[in-house]
Amino acid sequence: MQIPLKVYNSLTKQKEEFQPINPPFVGMYVCGPTVYSDVHLGNVRTFLSFDVIYRYLQHLGYKVRYVRNITDVGHLTDDADEGEDKIGKKARLENLEPMQIVQRYSNDFHNVMELFNILPPDIEPTATGHIVEQIEMIKALMNKGLAYEVNGSVYFDVSKYNENNHYGELSGRVLEELMSGSRTLDGQDEKRNPVDFALWKKAVKGHIMRWHSPWSVGFPGWHLECSVMSAKYLGETFDIHGGGMDLKFPHHECEIAQSQGATGKSPVKYWLHTNMLTVNGQKMSKSLGNSFLPHQLVTGEHELLDQPYSPMTVRFFMLQSHYSSTLDFSNEALKAAAKGYKKLINGLRIAKSLEYTEDGGGLNEKVLKQIDQIIENIYRSMNDDFNSARVIAQLFNLLKKINSLQTKNLKFGELGKEGFEKLINTFADFVENVLGLREEKPEDVDGILDILLKLYAEAKAEKNYDKVDEIRSLLKERGIVLKDMKDKIDWAYEE
RNA sequence: GGUCUCGUGGCCGAGUGGCUAGGCAGAGGUCUGCAAAACCUUUUACGGCGGUUCGAAUCCGCCCGAGACCUCCA
């Protein structure tokens, strides 16, 4: 396609043509979850957005290396770098080894990702697996005079960094204002400046997760792992760094400062930020207590939910908005999405089942042109900062053609074999591979079997033995045998 | 208070200086034993006030309203 891919770069605050540093390779890093509690739907939105970006880049032929970390070091509950370690706290409360907490919620996270058909990244590094590398980066920063040690803890010297760099370039902060705006913490603070942040924290008594370092037995600062792991797997400068808006400051700002401080290079070419999921206009977040857990959605067991919604309904719902807009979560919107999703996925089933047959129609240039136009619009939309909402709109337009083929309102011959294949393949490819929507078959297989058993019983009662034999043999082909019992009919797997 | 985003028809949600978003809901029609689905047609719109322009919902200013970040958060 001739239309170039453009992405909105949060760093430059404008849409830019996407040009990878080393085509056809693309390096993409996305901040993953901290595994100390269940992921909620807001978290899912971010990973879903980058899933579609990942899928589309691959669709365009790029060789993408997608890295998404797992934060399994317990970071502190407030940014004064005080407070309790979240994983350690949970471990203590539940009387578990911290790594049990980490494992449990990592497993849960992976299950949720699979539920929403979010592809796994190529590399999923953990913070605890890269303590050595983090220590190395701290050393490098200390050697450059950008970090200082106090009582076994090491802090990043933001004002020092700002002398030759621009701290705040991503989030639009001005250091002076940050410094005047932040309260000086009473007495105990080890930092030279409130805006400085921890690279290494000495473990206080009772802190469970701890490692040896040249400075103390302790643990690394929150921002450090992303700088370290992205550099390790993608290089000191790589193409795309993603994450939720709420990580822009301070997390991503600090990441830039660390990386640039250590290497002298700007680490990321394109910064992409996804917007928040809201509930009644308010951000969904753990701390506000208005978050939905994925399983609550699927079961419908939540006071704000009228009914259950399937994972693909939610996926479809989220893709109907642009990743950089807030999206409000409501029953009405979800119900509409459920119907829309089913319409689209019915189309996918039809698309896959249609076979081209010569039915005497002559080529219809007008329809062919329409289809070409729609397909071009699909690429145009996706290339415009991954506008999945517009892609879906166009897919519904293709769907009309597909449905018309099925109902014979449109003849195969009008499209010709080539036109037909383009229609079907584009539709199926975008629905399944780019948007990642998959068919959700009814799970109630038992219920469907019951219906067959009922028909079988009726046929027997009518002594319609042809029908009886037919049902029996058809089920047998599927590995299911019927059992005529004295008082009822049952079934079993064929042995 | 500082920085920033948004305000689109009954609901959700794209987009754009003049050319159909789309889904859901509503209306009419075709098809159908009935129904559903599908297809065709169709109603409802760009927070307010100014300005730029031949023309703005789209650009600019002001106002009103909502939200995000500035503390852990995707």
* Minimum CA–C1' distance nucleotide for A39: B74
* Minimum CA–C1' distance nucleotide for A286: B73
Last residue of a domain, one of A392, A407, A434: A434
pLDDT digits (tens, 9 = 90+) for A5-18: 999 999 988 888 99
Amino acid code (one letter) for A323: Y
pLDDT digits (tens, 9 = 90+) for A376-426: 999 999 999 999 999 999 999 999 999 999 988 899 999 999 999 999 999
> Quick one: A122 and A231 in the same domain?
yes
> Quick one: A78 and A130 in the same domain?
yes
* Minimum CA–C1' distance nucleotide for A249: B69
- The closest alpha carbon to A124, from A37, A36, A40, A32, belongs to A32
> Quick one: A265 and A406 in the same domain?
no
CA dihedral A318, A320, A322, A323 (to 10 degrees): 20
Distance between CA atoms of residues A186 and A128, nearest Å: 32
> Quick one: A228 and A320 in the same domain?
no
Distance between CA atoms of residues A341 and A319, nearest Å: 11
CA of A478 to C1' of B14 (A): 45
Residue A324: give the domain boundaries.
Answer: 298-434
Kindly state the tokens that stand for A115. Answer: 């539920």
> Do the Cβ atoms of A259 and A229 come closer than 8 Å?
no
CA of A309 to C1' of B54 (A): 51
CA of A211 to C1' of B35 (A): 69
* Minimum CA–C1' distance nucleotide for A282: B67
Residues in chain A: 495
Burial status of residue A246 (CB atoms within 10 A of its CB: 0-12, 13-18, 19 or more): middle
A77 located within any domain:
yes
> Quick one: A26 and A144 in the same domain?
yes
* Minimum CA–C1' distance nucleotide for A79: B71
- The closest alpha carbon to A281, from A293, A273, A269, A290, belongs to A290
> What ipTM does the predicted assembly reach?
0.93
Print burial letters for A404-415: b (CB count within 10 Å at least 16), e (below 16).
ebeeeebbbbbb
A401 located within any domain:
yes
pLDDT of residue A442: 78
CA of A125 to C1' of B16 (A): 43
* Minimum CA–C1' distance nucleotide for A174: B3
B chain positions with any atom within 7 Å of a protein CB: 1-4, 6, 10-16, 20-25, 37-40, 66-74
Distance between CA atoms of residues A6 and A8, nearest Å: 7
Contacts of A457-464 with C-beta under 8 Å, sequence gap 24+, read A457/A489, A460/A484
- The closest alpha carbon to A386, from A49, A99, A74, belongs to A49
Distance between CA atoms of residues A302 and A311, nearest Å: 15
> Quick one: A302 and A269 in the same domain?
no
pLDDT of residue A4: 87
State which residue has its Cα closest to the C1' atom of B5. Answer: A325
At CA A63, angle to CA A59 and CA A67, rounded to 5? 105
pLDDT digits (tens, 9 = 90+) for A104-156: 999 999 999 999 999 999 999 999 999 999 999 999 999 999 999 999 999 99
CA of A336 to C1' of B26 (A): 14
A136 located within any domain:
yes
> Quick one: A430 and A455 in the same domain?
no
pLDDT of residue A76: 62
Unique residue bearing structure tokens 């203590």: A92
> Quick one: A195 and A306 in the same domain?
no
CA of A388 to C1' of B12 (A): 15
> Quick one: A365 and A250 in the same domain?
no
Burial status of residue A245 (CB atoms within 10 A of its CB: 0-12, 13-18, 19 or more): middle
CA of A426 to C1' of B2 (A): 48
A281 located within any domain:
no
The parts of chain A modelled with pLDDT lower than 70 are 1-2, 75-83, 181-188
A289 located within any domain:
no
State which residue has its Cα closest to the C1' atom of B72. Answer: A77
* Minimum CA–C1' distance nucleotide for A391: B22
A282 located within any domain:
no
pLDDT of residue A79: 44
> Quick one: A264 and A305 in the same domain?
no
> Quick one: A350 and A234 in the same domain?
no
A440 located within any domain:
no
Distance between CA atoms of residues A203 and A90, nearest Å: 17
CA of A68 to C1' of B8 (A): 36
A172 located within any domain:
yes
Q: What is the CATH number of the domain that holds A253?
A: 3.40.50.620
Last residue of a domain, one of A274, A309, A343: A274
* Minimum CA–C1' distance nucleotide for A76: B72
- The closest alpha carbon to A389, from A52, A47, A60, A59, belongs to A52
Last residue of a domain, one of A241, A274, A307: A274
CA of A325 to C1' of B47 (A): 19
Helix residue ranges, H only, A354-387: 365-383
pLDDT of residue A445: 81
State which residue has its Cα closest to the C1' atom of B25. Answer: A336
CA of A339 to C1' of B12 (A): 12
> Quick one: A38 and A173 in the same domain?
yes
CA of A418 to C1' of B35 (A): 37
State which residue has its Cα closest to the C1' atom of B39. Answer: A404
| Cβ partners under 8 Å of residue A459, min gap 6 | A465, A467, A468, A471
The total of structural domains in chain A comes to 3
Kindly state the tokens that stand for A295. Answer: 């399983």
